[in-house]
Structure 1
């Protein structure tokens, strides 16, 4: 895959990989059925991955609204319509629109988890063994054999100091060899980047954390808002789970 093609999946140009602020766009239907979903030539619907669930939203066409309740990844990206809604015919011009509140909450949450992973790696040397998220809440699992004294308070203070520092969160892409020449871009205990991926998308919290990642993120740490460490759980030997929550309102 050439670097210029990293933002395509099958026949769909993935707008969210290069501009995470896109919420509405025009597109053309390339394929459509109730069973297999709707394929567009251009889409900003994040299809899910890395613990981040897929986007939801609508397609508007000919005075009709089709709700999109999920995305399926195959040879193409197939948008999954609500079972009660009509399907736009192939060739139809549509207006796509994401559910903004949900997308923005997921962006804040995903960035919060990257920030937390960066803090725990920097301060305790621990790698991530699992993750999951929903809007405004998520969890990271770490390979910590023992829980350091005052761990919860220490990571709460450190994480929110990084929020206040308003570090820029930037996206860039590099050929695989160049990306893996950078130190510590894999913060998971297992490298989850498939061997056939030739171009690696990096999410860089400037001065704190660089990770290979395909998800959506806010533009700076201040936009995450206050991070609450809701719970730290012992899930077995060498396995600690940290749960985080964010406030509903987005920080300014």
Structure 2
């Protein structure tokens, strides 16, 4: 955030009765009542958009080709992991997934976002790609992200406008996380 010519970096948030911003350690704090302006760090935001959109491509490919739902995940700028309910994987799974994902990235698919009434959104086939429905029950509108021709799902994150903007994705590792759970770790290659 910017105030009186000074920048205070925000490194996190905490929810309570209000939303609290957590400043970077050592950064100056504005005096109470000071008008502040929010600013987005473009490099970090762009990396997050590319990474998040890449996870949608990964999810779409694994769902389409293996019928597996997402059981968990985590994302940092430029790298992430996604877990799938996938009991069996072929021996060449890592290389195959990387090739399939990068084929979809290179296809330059459009990424469209729209908001639908809850009932209309939930009527879409396979709109929930996680093993459990994470949409809060009192949410009356659902944001839909559509990687046209590959992946349509409810999602609240930020995305690139087309898959080509993601750039090449490396599948770093595929791990077994239980009898029917596989973790796929990815990293943006450029």
TM superposition shift of 1:149: 4.1
Q: Is 1:137 the equivalent of 2:79?
A: yes
Q: Which runs of 5+ in 1 are unaligned?
A: 1-58
- RMSD, aligned α-carbons: 1.5
How far apart in 1 are the matches of 2:135 and 2:187? 27
User: What residue number does 1:166 align with?
Assistant: 108
TM superposition shift of 1:74: 4.1
User: What residue number does 1:186 align with?
Assistant: 128
How many residue pairs end up in the alignment?
Answer: 189
How far apart in 2 are the matches of 1:233 and 1:141? 9
How far apart in 1 are the matches of 2:73 and 2:125? 22
User: What residue number does 2:14 align with?
Assistant: 72
Q: Is 1:211 the equivalent of 2:153?
A: yes
TM-score (norm 1): 0.71
1:91-126: CA deviations, max 9, x gaps? x43332122211111111111111100000000101
Instruction: Say whether the 8 Å CA contact 1:169–1:204 is kept in structure 2.
Output: yes
Q: Which runs of 5+ in 2 are unaligned?
A: none
| Secondary structure of 1:98's aligned partner | coil
1:160-185: CA deviations, max 9, x gaps? 11111100112111111010010111
TM superposition shift of 1:136: 0.8
TM-score (norm 2): 0.93
User: Which runs of at least 4 in structure 1 moved beyond 4 Å after TM superposition?
Assistant: none
1:119-168: CA deviations, max 9, x gaps? 00000101110110111110111111111242222211111111111001
How far apart in 2 are the matches of 1:166 and 1:186? 24
| Secondary structure of 1:78's aligned partner | strand
User: What residue number does 1:87 align with?
Assistant: 30
How far apart in 2 are the matches of 1:226 and 1:82? 32
Instruction: Say whether the 8 Å CA contact 2:74–2:80 is kept in structure 1.
Output: yes
1:51-105: CA deviations, max 9, x gaps? xxxxxxxx11222222212122345433222343222433x43332122211111
| Secondary structure of 1:117's aligned partner | helix
How far apart in 2 are the matches of 1:141 and 1:81? 31
